Chains A and B, each alone.
Chain A
Amino acid sequence: MSLNTKKIVIAVIGLFFLGALLIVGGIESNKRVLGKKAYIKVSATSEDCVSCHTFTSPSLIEQWRDSKHALKGVGCMECHATDPGDKDAWEHEGALVTVVVSPKDCSKCHANENDQFQASHHADAGKIIGSLDNVLAEVVEGNMGRLSLNGQSPAAISGCWQCHGSVVKIMADGRPDPATWPNTGIGRINPDGSKGSCSACHSRHRFSVVVSRQPDSCGKCHMGPDHPQKEIYEESKHGIAFKAFKQDMNLDAQPWRAGIEYSAAPTCATCHMSATEELPVTHDVGMRISWNLRPPVSEKIDAKAIKAGERVVSWEERRENMQAVCMKCHAENYVDGFYLQFDSAINLYDEKYGKPTTSIIKMMKAGKVLTATNFDEELEWTYFYLWHHEGRRARHGASMMAPDYTQWHGFFEVAERFYMHFVPQVRTACEDKIHRGGEVATAAKLVLAELDSILNREEHRWFLGKMPKDEKNRRKLAAEEFEKRYAQ
């Protein structure tokens, strides 16, 4: 290569270099635009969203800016973008977006959590079609005809579904059916087929883990007369400790392990989901529960699966998982003693109230002493209250150390319901049918006989005046002593 050629080469490459430097200068001046927040990287596609929504929904943008997502460069389109074929795709200001961000979308980055969640009962919460509760919402309380919204019962839309989750329907114009959206029920069925809603607990758009660790998050749904877990927790010593030492709870720590990052008190998440030194976090909330206290008669959590021939984690192993968490604060003997107490309370409810009432109702339905229509007779409401409300309260109270819920909101009301309402109503219904005669009369007679045999059991016979004499005397003496001390 001659000298001149070399010089020309230098000149040419030098010009290319100059060009590259000009590009560098351009990139630099772009970075200096006013208003750009340092450290927050907004992807180019999300820029448009942010610039408009800063005016139309400023709080939303501010919440997102405070989130870990923003710090890591997860902006709008990273979650809201869809493909053209998707059912819920909607053309908005030149971009194809979806309003419904499902667990499947979240699983792009949070695959583990989604896998655990999909396997859990939370994800199935939306599958309530056919349940008695569903009948209540759609028929008894509500209406799916002239008083409906797009054919759905408003009682369900604003009530049941907001916790359990709706089945999100997309209408012909690509927008969601207002009967089914907005909805962040934890068992929502999304247009892309996935189950659930992550924002049920991880509220948007800040998605702060602090919110999801708050007992109040769980308490949005796990509260009320039929499953007052929130109130039970707040009554219990666990809840009291949480309220007293909330500032020591280190709620935004990651990882967040009982006994390491915090030890002041357990929350719902602590026992049912969160990590310890040995246990990893799980979004499958059933993995540490041994009892299923939902039905009229309690059963172990793996009973249904075993009957269906499936292989699942046994209730014993799940109880061990839970006990591993308990023992971060409690001694082994303490934990074992508690579980004995808990199991015997469940047993008491099942044997004294759950099983007897359920078998009676079954007999009455089979023998047509009760009509086929649910909730058209008072006895059916009585039975429903007994197991669905009071019976559950007693059981849940025993499960999470809330004495008042176990007793006054629980067993006391179960007993009152049973003796003062259920038993008389069964008798009235049967006697009425016996009067009318026929086949039903025979069935009714059998029911009364069954009721009689139940009431003659050791635990019920006091009601028939058949308490053993020596026990009667003992109680009489104790009552007299008590009166001397307290009565007027």
Chain B
Amino acid sequence: MTPTLVQEGRREWHWRTPAERWARFGLTLVVVATVVAAASAISEQTTWVFVLDAGLQMRDLGMRMFPPNASYALTLGRPLLETIHIATLGTALGMAVALPLAYLCARTTTPSRRWVRPLALLALVTSRSVNSIIWALVLVVLLGPGLLAGVLAIALRSVGFVGKLVYEAIEEAPSLPITAMETTGARRMQALAFGLVPNILPTVAAVGIYRWEINIREATILGLVGAGGIGMALQASIDALAWSGVSVILLAILATVLLAEVVSARVRRGLA
């Protein structure tokens, strides 16, 4: 990206060297080729007749969804409350597990870089790569349908997210206060409690509330696999083809998610 001077009989200014230009051309070619190949593979798997009548389907669906069945809204109070419980308890549980793991992961605090850190990192990546609804699928098989499976699924997914962001915050925290305290004779744990924790606490709180906001969104769909919350009502309405009920549920979800977003933004602004 640096401006370059190139000799071509006379001095001429070019933005990039020839090598850079070829590299960029090659990279673009690879990306375009990959995308074209991928698009044609998907196109082969697609029944285009169904895609082409999408407008008709959408009009049909829209007519069934409107007007929303307003009386149905009164029965949604409890499922909505359950959804919020799932998100809140799941976030709290997830953070309780994530914070010690973050401590084990951070290069600056881990007891052993060779042995403990890779294991803790593996735990975080495992938690993060499996979506909460897949965790819920597994947990519903084990624990039966209900809120407990939802709470644990949310917690399992949150561990990786919170853990990663917090261990990065630990690594970026200034090491000087810790060194200073250890110089005065503080034990390791004392130095961390007073030299590190106050520095990362705002980040921990902000990450936690941000994850809570995401978890509210996730908790709305866990019911589709039986893990409690408003998703159960959604699944029931879709199965019964009661689309006027579906639109009420969607409006309720929208309101809850927006509310959570406002709360989260307020709190995080307060923390910053």
A binds B: no
